[in-house]
């Protein structure tokens, strides 16, 4: 006869409710740990998936994920000539928030270096990679844009030709991938009237100079498109991604490029560490500390639940002792119920998590390592609480049943 099973059958409803409450509590603990890992995964997602060995950014900055970085696009060609560089491609990243179909559409625009990079490395859930140099977009499913949707950004309309899954920025915004040229057009788009005012202002400034009187034809150029004026700067990109050729040392290639006074160079791991210690550091630490506090509170709550269940059985335990039950039988009763509560709570937490976590607005990543750690914590909590319960149970005298 198993006393633990008999006792559970006797109070099945209470046992199920207790296991459910513990399971939901453990699910919250599991979810907080998953949110922490999800935040780190989203923050480093693009750095890891881009496959770049080196990140060339504006001199004195820490890269586009930490702060604003601006480089002339011509640096892409300059980097490509460095010995040991297999490929160099421009990288553009910026966030937009627009109105689309009577709702707010917020996305992080990522520029792909067409035609070298068509987005074939992206985890496509539907659709295809880019096939045209302009007006095509790959969006994440969390943006709510369906395949074939047409989105107006700036003066152009982009068609969603591919959908990714779980491609979000460190702030949780879904990513959208277009060519670098389109990304720059979206980033530096200004209204037509603003362009006309700027051209008129350039012409007016030129007319105040002697140059206008000696070279009247320059007035026509000053009032034209900015791209036709050599004195104005070229297109600016956020960074240049470098892949090192086989047989070359990435550190030596980085040293050659870093010798230029107008750029800074970071290795893949360096850019990843800067990202984690930069824009997401405070949020990561806050969620980590809150997770630790939640584990401590959960430990106290679960220990009190188990200890209370033991106190409720003191009268029954006294009766068992009066009938001649050995201490080992009472010990098995308490420990077996503790193990069953912990196991059922963990299973319920895992099942509820699989069902609920996909609906969270931020990514929740639960790995086997965290599950094993949580199981060890639960086991330790219930063992400690069982020790307290066992001491109380063994101290019960048989004659207390008559009280």
What residues have CB less than 8 Å from 175, skipping those under 6 apart? Answer: 46, 107, 108, 109, 110, 139, 140, 164, 167, 168, 169
Query: For position 1, what pLDDT does the model report?
Result: 46
Q: Nearest-CA neighbor of 345 among 294, 314, 306?
A: 306
Residue numbers of the domain that contains 229: 191-233
Residue 239 CB neighbour total at 10 angstroms: 30
Tokens standing for 307? 């200890």
pLDDT tens, position by position, 318-339:
666 667 667 677 777 777 777 7
Find residue 237's DSSP bridge partners.
Answer: 71
Task: Label residues 137-170 b or e (16+ Cβ within 10 Å = b).
Answer: bbbbbbbebeeebebebbeeebebbbbbebbbbb
Confirm whether 138 is domain-assigned: yes
Query: For position 207, what pLDDT does the model report?
Result: 66
Q: What is the mean pLDDT of residues 5-21?
A: 73
Both 225 and 290 in one domain: the answer is no
Query: For position 396, what pLDDT does the model report?
Result: 66
More confident residue, 174 or 283: 174
Confirm whether 73 is domain-assigned: no
Tokens standing for 257? 């490029």
The percentage of residues in the chain with a pLDDT greater than 70, rounded to a whole number, is: 80
Tokens standing for 89? 């491609």
* Cβ proximity of 43 and 256 under 8 Å: no
Tokens standing for 9? 């059958």
Confirm whether 50 is domain-assigned: no
Cα 258 off chain centre by: 30
Both 386 and 338 in one domain: the answer is yes
Both 100 and 172 in one domain: the answer is yes
> Cα-flanking dihedrals φ and ψ of residue 86, to 5°?
-80, -45
Both 384 and 323 in one domain: the answer is yes
Please state, in angstroms and as integers, the Cα–Cα distance from residue 312 to each residue in 16, 35, 223, following that order: 16, 37, 89
Rounded to whole angstroms, the Cα distance separating 284 from 132 reads 39
For the ranges 45-49, 72-76, 96-100, 123-127, which has the lowest average pLDDT?
45-49
Q: What is the mean pLDDT of residues 162-173?
A: 83
Tokens standing for 93? 């990243």
Calculate the CA dihedral of residues 57, 61, 64, 67 and round it to 10 degrees. -170
* Cβ proximity of 166 and 120 under 8 Å: no
What 3 state SS string does the chain have? Answer: CCHHHHHHHHCHHHHHHHHHHHHHHHHHHHHHHHHHHHHHHHHHHHHHHHCCCEEEEECCCCCCCCCCCCEECCHHHHHHCCCCEEEEEEEEEEEEEEECCCCEEEEEEEEECCCCCCCCCCCEEEECCCCCCCCEEEEEHHHCCCCCCEEEECCEEEEEEEEECCCECCCCCEEEEEEHHHHHHHHCCCCHHHHHHHHHHHHHHHHCCHHHHHCCHHHHHHCCCHHHCCCCCCCEECEEEEEECCCCCHHHHHHHHHCCCCEEEEEHHHHHHHHHCCCCHHHHHHHHHHHHHHHHHHHHHHHHHHHHHHHCCHHHHHHHHHCCCCHHHHHHHHHHHHHHHHHHHHHHHHHHHHHHHHHCCCCCCCCHHHHHHHHHHHHHHHHHHHHHHHHHHHCCCHHHHHC
- Half-sphere exposure of residue 137: CA atoms within 13 angstroms, side-chain side: 29
Q: Is the pLDDT of residue 232 over 70?
A: no
For the ranges 89-93, 186-190, 349-353, 388-392, which has the lowest average pLDDT?
388-392
Both 100 and 160 in one domain: the answer is yes
Confirm whether 241 is domain-assigned: no
Could you say which of 158, 174, 189 is where a domain stops? 189
Both 397 and 320 in one domain: the answer is yes
Both 301 and 368 in one domain: the answer is yes
Confirm whether 144 is domain-assigned: yes
Confirm whether 249 is domain-assigned: no
Both 200 and 143 in one domain: the answer is no
Query: For position 178, what pLDDT does the model report?
Result: 93
Tokens standing for 219? 């007035």
Could you say which of 127, 162, 189 is where a domain stops? 189
Both 285 and 397 in one domain: the answer is yes
Q: What is the mean pLDDT of residues 107-116?
A: 87
Both 289 and 379 in one domain: the answer is yes
Q: Is the pLDDT of residue 41 over 70?
A: yes
Confirm whether 85 is domain-assigned: no
More confident residue, 179 or 341: 179
Rounded to whole angstroms, the Cα distance separating 342 from 380 reads 10
* Cβ proximity of 56 and 259 under 8 Å: no
Number of structural domains the chain divides into: 3
Query: For position 377, what pLDDT does the model report?
Result: 81
pLDDT band of 373, cuts 50, 70, 90: confident
Both 217 and 321 in one domain: the answer is no
Statement: the pTM of the whole predicted model exceeds 0.75: no
Q: Is the pLDDT of residue 224 over 60?
A: no
pLDDT tens, position by position, 195-214:
677 777 776 766 666 555 55
Could you say which of 189, 220, 247 is where a domain stops? 189
Query: For position 165, what pLDDT does the model report?
Result: 85
For the ranges 113-122, 124-133, 169-178, 282-291, which has the lowest average pLDDT?
282-291
Both 285 and 395 in one domain: the answer is yes
Q: Is the pLDDT of residue 93 over 50?
A: yes
Q: Is the pLDDT of residue 44 over 70?
A: yes
Q: What is the mean pLDDT of residues 286-314?
A: 78
């Amino acid at each position: 006869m198993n006393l633990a099973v008999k006792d559970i059958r006797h109070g099945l409803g209470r046992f199920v409710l207790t296991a459910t409450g513990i399971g939901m509590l453990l699910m919250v603990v599991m979810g907080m740990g998953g949110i922490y890992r999800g935040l780190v995964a989203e923050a480093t997602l693009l750095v890891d998936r881009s496959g770049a060995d080196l990140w060339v950014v504006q001199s004195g900055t820490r890269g586009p994920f930490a702060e604003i970085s601006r480089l002339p696009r011509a640096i892409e060609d300059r980097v490509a000539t460095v010995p040991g560089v297999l490929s160099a491609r421009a990288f553009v990243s910026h966030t937009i928030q627009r109105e689309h179909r009577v709702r707010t559409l917020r996305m992080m625009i990522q520029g792909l270096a067409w035609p070298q990079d068509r987005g074939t490395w992206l985890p496509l859930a539907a659709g295809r990679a880019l096939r045209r140099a302009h007006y095509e977009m790959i969006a994440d499913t969390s943006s709510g844009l369906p395949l074939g949707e047409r989105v107006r950004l700036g003066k152009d309309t982009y068609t969603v030709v591919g959908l990714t899954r779980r491609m979000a920025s460190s702030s949780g915004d879904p990513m959208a991938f277009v060519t670098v040229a389109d990304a720059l057009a979206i980033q530096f788009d200004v209204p037509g009237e603003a362009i006309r005012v700027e051209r008129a202002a350039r012409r007016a400034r030129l007319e105040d100079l002697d140059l206008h009187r000696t070279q009247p034809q320059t007035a026509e150029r000053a009032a034209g498109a900015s791209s036709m004026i050599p004195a104005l700067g070229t297109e600016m990109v956020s960074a240049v991604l470098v892949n090192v050729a086989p047989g070359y040392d990435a550190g030596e290639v980085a040293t050659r490029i870093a010798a230029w006074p107008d750029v800074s160079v970071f290795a893949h791991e360096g850019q990843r560490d800067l990202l984690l210690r930069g824009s997401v550091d405070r949020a990561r630490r806050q969620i980590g500390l809150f997770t630790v506090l939640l584990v401590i509170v959960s430990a106290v709550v679960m220990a009190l639940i188990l200890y209370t269940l033991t106190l409720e059985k003191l009268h029954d335990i006294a009766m068992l002792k009066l009938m001649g039950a050995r201490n080992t039988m009472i010990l098995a009763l308490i420990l077996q119920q503790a193990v069953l509560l912990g196991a059922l709570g963990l299973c319920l937490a895992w099942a509820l998590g699989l069902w609920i976590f996909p609906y969270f607005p931020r990514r929740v990543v639960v790995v086997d390592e965290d599950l094993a750690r949580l199981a060890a914590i639960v086991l330790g909590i219930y063992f400690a609480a069982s020790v307290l319960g066992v001491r109380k149970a063994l101290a019960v005298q048989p004659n207390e049943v008559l009280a």
